[in-house]
């Protein structure tokens, strides 16, 4: 996550004290960039990156933060690092949206070893890349593709006769599905409707899929709607937990 996106999740960050800003930047370097130590130069670079005024003497401030009780910063030959008390403070400061973002990424990564279908592997890999790069519209689209592909496989592999029977009732002129690619000729909303009518999908699964299809459409089509990380996280969580990981839909 970029530094700008990181601090957007922190209320009133621009108005916080210089000491608090330094600790937030240090936390970012530790947790987001996986740095064990940081320097005064790197802290100054963080101030510059988000267009905030640097301390008049960052090195002096860092030295002072090593002398407080409890110490806010520790120093050794390799550089500075946040103390245990400062780390605890930062954990409390991180809002739930940041925690859920990490959980959404963990959910997706946890699927990598469990997804065997090559097409679904591609969707999963792209969903991960999009979400990690804050391309939230794209991550919703790819998460939908992943879940919908699973639904189509579920219908085709285990419930095709029931689906075709219900399809004939719902759309008398529609041809029955004979191969997996025939799903491409049907609207996604129709597939959900028919699967629900045939008892292949539960009411809860059909409702969830219909709702998430609407969010996919909003994300995929040009609009002024702002798609946030929170929206993307909710879509990913629901599709993964309630569709992709369920043996019975």
CA separation for the pair 25, 7 (Å, rounded):
9
Q: Report pLDDT for 223.
A: 75
Please give the pLDDT value at position 2.
80
Dihedral sign for Cα 225, 228, 232, 233, please.
negative
pTM: 0.61
Residue-wise pLDDT for 144-176, tens only, equals 999 999 999 999 999 999 999 999 999 999 999
Q: Tell me: do 105 and 225 sit in the same domain.
A: yes
**Residues sharing a CB contact under 8 Å with residue 66, sequence separation 6 or more, in sequence order:** 72, 73, 74, 75, 80
**Domain that includes residue 34, residue range:** 3-94
Last residue of a domain, one of 49, 68, 94: 94
Out of 1-15, 20-34, 98-112, give the one with best mean pLDDT: 20-34
Phi, psi (5° rounding) for residue 174?
-75, 140
Which of the two residues, 102 and 129, has the higher pLDDT score? 129
Among 63, 94, 125, residue at a domain's last position? 94
The H or E element that residue 80 is part of is: strand 79-82
Report whether 168 contacts 174 (CB < 8 A).
yes
pLDDT tens digits, one per residue of 34-86 = 899 999 999 999 999 999 999 999 999 999 999 999 999 999 999 999 999 99
Predicted confidence (pLDDT) at residue 131 exceeds the cutoff of 60? yes
pLDDT at 96 over 60: no
Q: What is residue 1's predicted lDDT score, i.e. its pLDDT?
A: 66
Q: Would 71 be classed as within a structural domain?
A: yes
- pLDDT band of 247, cuts 50, 70, 90: confident
pLDDT band at 227; cut points 50, 70, 90: confident
> How many Cβ atoms sit within 10 Å of the Cβ of residue 52?
14
CA distance 14 to 52: 8
* Residue 108 domain flag: yes
Q: Which pair of structure tokens corresponds to residue 216? A: 């996919």
The verdict on 85 and 182 lying in the same domain is: no
The helix/strand/coil state of 148 is: helix
Give the residue from 94, 111, 141 where a domain finishes: 94
| pLDDT, tens digit, 9 for 90 and up, residues 136-151 | 899 999 999 999 999 9
pLDDT of residue 97 exceeding 60, the answer is: no
What local confidence, expressed as pLDDT, does residue 183 receive?
A: 97
Instruction: Decide if 104 contacts 232 (C-beta within 8 A).
Output: yes
The residue among 182, 181, 179, 207 whose CA lies nearest residue 193 is: 207
Residues 88 and 10 in one domain: yes
Same domain, 199 and 104: yes
The SS3 of residue 23 is helix
Count structural domains, the chain: 2
How far is 126 from 143, CA to CA, in rounded Å? 9
The larger pLDDT score, comparing residue 128 to residue 72, is at 72
Whether 88 and 172 map to the same domain: the answer is no
- The pair of structure tokens assigned to 125 is 């890999």
Q: Are residues 239 and 149 in the same domain?
A: yes
Residues 82 and 54 both lie in one domain: yes
Among the ranges given (123-127, 215-219, 224-228), the one the predictor scored with the smallest mean pLDDT: 224-228
Write the CB contacts of 154 (distance below 8 Å, at least 6 apart in sequence): 200, 249
Query: Residue for token digits 């520790």?
Result: 74
64-73, 86-95, 186-195: least confidently modelled range? 86-95
Type and span of the H or E element at 76: strand 73-76
Sort residue 74 into left (φ over 0), alpha (ψ -120 to 50) or beta: beta
Mean predicted lDDT score pLDDT of the chain: 89
């Amino acid at each position: 996550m970029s530094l700008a996106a990181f601090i957007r999740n922190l209320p009133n960050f621009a108005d916080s004290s210089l000491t608090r800003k330094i600790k937030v930047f240090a936390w970012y370097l530790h947790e987001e960039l996986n740095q064990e130590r940081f320097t005064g130069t790197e802290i100054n670079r963080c101030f510059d990156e988000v267009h905030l005024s640097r301390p008049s003497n960052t090195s002096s401030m860092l030295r002072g933060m090593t002398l407080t009780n409890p110490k806010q910063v520790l120093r050794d030959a390799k550089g500075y690092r946040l103390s245990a008390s400062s780390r605890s403070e930062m954990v409390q400061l991180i809002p739930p949206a940041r925690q859920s973002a990490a959980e959404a990424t963990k959910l997706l990564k946890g699927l990598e070893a469990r997804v065997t279908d090559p097409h679904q592997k591609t969707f999963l890999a792209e969903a991960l890349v999009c979400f990690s790069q804050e391309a939230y519209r794209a991550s919703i689209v790819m998460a939908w593709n992943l879940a919908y592909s699973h639904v189509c496989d579920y219908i085709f592999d285990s419930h095709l006769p029931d689906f075709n029977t219900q399809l004939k009732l719902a759309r008398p002129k529609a041809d029955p599905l004979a191969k997996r690619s025939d799903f491409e000729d049907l609207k996604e909303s129709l597939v959900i409707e028919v699967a629900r009518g045939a008892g292949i999908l539960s009411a809860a699964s059909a409702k969830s899929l219909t709702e998430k299809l609407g969010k996919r459409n909003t994300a995929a089509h040009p609009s002024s709607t702002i798609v946030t990380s929170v929206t993307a996280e909710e879509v990913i969580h629901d599709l993964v937990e309630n569709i992709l990981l369920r043996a019975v839909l």
